[in-house]
Amino acid sequence: MGMDADVIVIGPFSILTKLDVLEYPIYFYDDVQLDDLVLGWAAGANATNESYELAKICGVGAWDLGNHRVKTPVKPIGGHDDIGEDTEMEIYELLIELLKYDNVQIWYRPNG
């Protein structure tokens, strides 16, 4: 069986809107207040190798289920082709930006 994974974000609507990580189109959130906590989506992987690479960027073990909160992303090193070097850097930079906010949590979520 293969594996896929997502990086989900939990935080205030205002921040997730600002950083463009809402899970659904903006019009779904008509009655949401700026400080309401919402769920967002930061990145995903569709294959096993990509999922493991995404876990590395998140600084977590892919199947270390008790430790999937992203706290210290790891900058990708050149030569990884599973996700794509440019995409890996974009994910890393987004995680770093999200972690600047104390009221935002980021979680790696595997599915396999």
pLDDT tens across 38-95, in order?
A: 999 999 999 999 999 999 999 999 999 999 999 999 998 765 566 776 788 999 999 9
What is the pLDDT, as a whole number, of residue 78? 67
What is the identity of the amino acid at 75?
Answer: K
Say what angle helices 48-58 and 85-98 make with each other, to 10 degrees: 40
3-class secondary-structure state, position 55: helix
- Decide: 110 and 79 in contact? Cβ < 8 Å: no
Section 5-28 average pLDDT:
97
Q: Is the entire prediction scored with pTM above 0.85? A: yes
